[in-house]
Amino acid sequence: MHCKGKLSLTVMMALYSGAQAVANENTISLDELVVTGTRSETPLLEQAGNTGKISEEEIDLVRPDHITEIANRISGVNIQHGNGQEHLTSIRSPVLTGGAGAGSFLYLEDGIPLRAAGFANVNGLFEVGYEQAGGIEVVRGPGSAFYGSNAVHGLLNVLSRAPSLELEREIDLSVGPHDLYTAKATVSDTVGNHGYRVNVLGTTDGGYVSESGYDQQKVSLRHDYFGEIDSFKTLFSYTNLNQETAGYITGFKAYEDESLSRDNPNPEAYRDAKSYRLSTEWERELSDSSSFRLTPYIRHTEMEFLMHFLPGDSIEKNQHSSVGLLSAYTKELDGGHKIILGTDLEYTEGELSEVQSDPTVFFGPNPSDYVQGVHYDYDVDATIIAPYLHTEWQLLEHTRLTAGLRYEYTRYDYTNNTGSLTLAGSNRFLRPDSDVDTFSNLSPKLGLVQQLTDETAAFINYSRGNRAPQTADLYRAQIVPSQTGTADSEEIDSIELGFRKVGEGLQYEITAYHMKKRDYFFTDSSNQNVPNGKTQHNGLELGMFYPFNETFDIAANVTFAKHEYDFDKASSGIEKGDYLVTAPKRMGNIRLGWNVTPVTRAELEWVHMSEYYVNDGNTAKYEGHDVFNLRASHDVTQNFTVYGRVKNLFNTDYAERADFGGAPPGDYRYFVGEKRYLHVGASYRF
């Protein structure tokens, strides 16, 4: 266990979820290009589907210490803050946990997954440098034909910051409550055909609750080469986290009790994790109408942590190493048509062990559920082969059709290192015999975009998302009395209809969606595996930005959603039509911006979370909250900026995350939202 670009104030932030609003002196315009949907820059009005975007300028204004502070500004996104750098994600979904949480969302950096598909991490976003990114894009709902496993409910792509055209050097220092200190630095320049950027970050946090906190380091190096025919982008990223992890506090509305809210019931819990990735994207212009892109990459991740959220307090160690290759051929056809053919290849070697050192825990209907010893010890070699086709057809002058298809073959070669099927003295742990499992999934996509005016368009989009099971769902599936099957490939069908407006003045995007999911593998409130669940998801999302004048503007991202079980399971207390756990009906992020002077900007943010149920059967719930945050930034000189923020301006008692569990009959559990605090910092450019 271990202890712990500067902001140009003439530039507005990307303040609504469909595009990037930029204010330059007296004008409002849009960056109408997004890259995640097609892995290349594409006009927003031609997108059949939605992509929420956070700009580089917005990241520099917010200066996030946690991913929730920046990503939750996009409608349809609800990332809940655990302790330290931990989090759980929702994108057009309830907040999902376990293998469902790890496998339902695809996390990327410049289009490359942070982890191998079957080895995902629910806390995976601390493995990327979002604090110094060049932008963040979120595709809500299933990914396009370019993305396969884990892009079920959505994907989040962190874009590395591009090299500057001239020499840029910056040092940024900040201080916050409970001994929170952050130092960031960047150096960038372009010389001839070569551009580079080096980002480094170091954070230490003493922890809001007792005996908690973390130390974190991140490094990224990017090199670009621009040739007449060939261009290269090479990116290296490294992250390290050493965290003392505080667990849930328990008891109904325990977050309102000042003494309980600062208590750590699991002082021995910790999380140590490191990762690195190296990739080179090579693009060659074959002709005026065709190009070829090849991106080889390697990655490695390793983690050790105390599983404080489960009885027994076992220690898990996992790691995996991957080599991969993304390839694509693009052909522009006469009449505005386009065809992209590609194949994604990846090979991974992974391993996992889970060991309980403490005495037997008497929990659940079987008194020997959790016992000392090696619960699991296995290796998995995984191979993925995924050819795809993406096409775009200009049917009429203002009508564009998008069609795509992806086939994904997954092979797991699993080895059980324990030598036995079950753990002696336990009724819970199943260690399958060594075997090979294969999965084949097909993902079609069909979309239509109708441009109504130069600044408005309507779209309708159908897509299917699927994923092979997580390796942990297959090979660490616990025996439970009611289990009737094992994990299989999960599949979701989605249809959405939307309207968007870009350009000057009012900008907005309105999207309605309906999704149905099959073979949903999850753990219910009784800690039992459910291998073949069905759910349906309906929602309405609104993102808008409106400048009242040069001084004031408003941005709003609002979500109305209904996430329901679509089957009955009496042993879990589930009836068709019940809400899924942690599925709020309404979420909102509304921001009032004020350009106090040409070099001073302030922002008042209102974060709204409606009530949501915290157990299957919908008998226990969290009542929701409204929290306000205030930010300000001021350029003292052209090279020196000071900034600050007040989190939880009105000192509201609330929970970042509410849950229900523990030993039967269970109890309310919370990760407490911090009380009001001031965070200040300064950056110097030279």
**pLDDT tens digits, 463-501:** 999 999 999 999 987 765 545 568 889 999 999 999 999
CATH number at 87 reads: 2.40.170.20
Identify the pLDDT of residue 487.
Answer: 84
Identify the pLDDT of residue 301.
Answer: 97
Identify the pLDDT of residue 484.
Answer: 53
Please report the sign of the dihedral spanned by the C-alpha atoms of residue 626, residue 142, residue 498, residue 108: positive
The reply to whether 15 falls in a domain is no
Which stretches in the chain have pLDDT values below 70?
1-32, 37-39, 362-368, 479-485, 663-664
What total of structural domains would you count in the chain?
1
Any bridge partners for residue 418, and if so which?
A: none
Which residues, 6+ apart, have CB-to-CB distance to 97 below 8 Å?
Answer: 88, 122, 522, 523
Task: Give all strands (DSSP E) within 487-585, no chain letters.
Answer: 490-501, 507-523, 529-547, 552-565
The reply to whether 417 falls in a domain is yes
The reply to whether 496 falls in a domain is yes
Please report the sign of the dihedral spanned by the C-alpha atoms of residue 118, residue 122, residue 127, residue 133: positive
What secondary structure letter does DSSP report for 322?
Answer: E
Identify the pLDDT of residue 39.
Answer: 67
Identify the pLDDT of residue 100.
Answer: 86
The reply to whether 165 falls in a domain is yes
Identify the pLDDT of residue 571.
Answer: 78
Which residues, 6+ apart, have CB-to-CB distance to 587 below 8 Å?
Answer: 75, 78, 558, 559, 561, 608, 609, 610
Residues spanned by the domain of 151: 20-685
Identify the pLDDT of residue 521.
Answer: 87
Identify the pLDDT of residue 49.
Answer: 77
The reply to whether 249 falls in a domain is yes
The reply to whether 313 falls in a domain is yes
C-alpha distances out from residue 259 to 31, 273, 453, 625, 649, Å: 48, 31, 58, 20, 21
The reply to whether 394 falls in a domain is yes
Residue with tokens 């090299």: 163
* Tokens at 213, concatenated: 């906190």
The reply to whether 86 falls in a domain is yes
Q: For residue 64, which phi and psi values (nearest 5 degrees)?
A: -70, 140
How far apart, in whole angstroms, are the C-alpha atoms of residue 412 and residue 10? 52
Q: Which of 131, 100, 103 is nearest to 115 (CA)?
A: 103
Asked whether the beta carbons of 457 and 45 are under 8 A apart, the reply is yes
